[in-house]
Amino acid sequence: MRHFILSLSVRTWLITSALRARLMLGLSTLLATTALPAYANDGIFGMLDKVAGDADASKKGLLQLAGFGGVGMVILGIVLWVAKKKNPQITWGWILTALGAGFVLIAIDQFIKKGQSTLNLNPVDI
């Protein structure tokens, strides 16, 4: 009797996982076919121009996002530092990596301005 119940539960699990995989495949295929024509109305060159324009417009947003991420990494480093007392698995390498990455992300715009002035370029305020 146990063997029958175990066999039945395994078969049920196999059927449901196969059904779930087929359902996700169908859903992703349906979503892929509906999303593609929305960007293809200008042709390939129109899509490339749109991507280039968006990349040019997103420089300021990326630097703001880098500053925000830097603050998050510093906060993560401080949280790891505080949690190190109770968790010996947290090493100083993790803490210093989070803090260092956060400080670099916060100061990345200053690095760019300093590099531009060192190369005698006109510094551009971003």
Break the chain into its structural domains and give their ranges: 1-57, 59-126
Q: Is the pLDDT of residue 98 over 80?
A: yes
pLDDT score of 38: 47
The residue assigned the tokens 């400080």 is 103
pLDDT score of 48: 59
How long is the chain? 126
The confidence band for 88, taking pLDDT boundaries of 50, 70 and 90, is: confident
Range with lowest mean pLDDT among 26-30, 50-54, 71-75, 99-103? 50-54
**Cα–Cα nearest to 102, from 61, 80, 71, 68:** 71
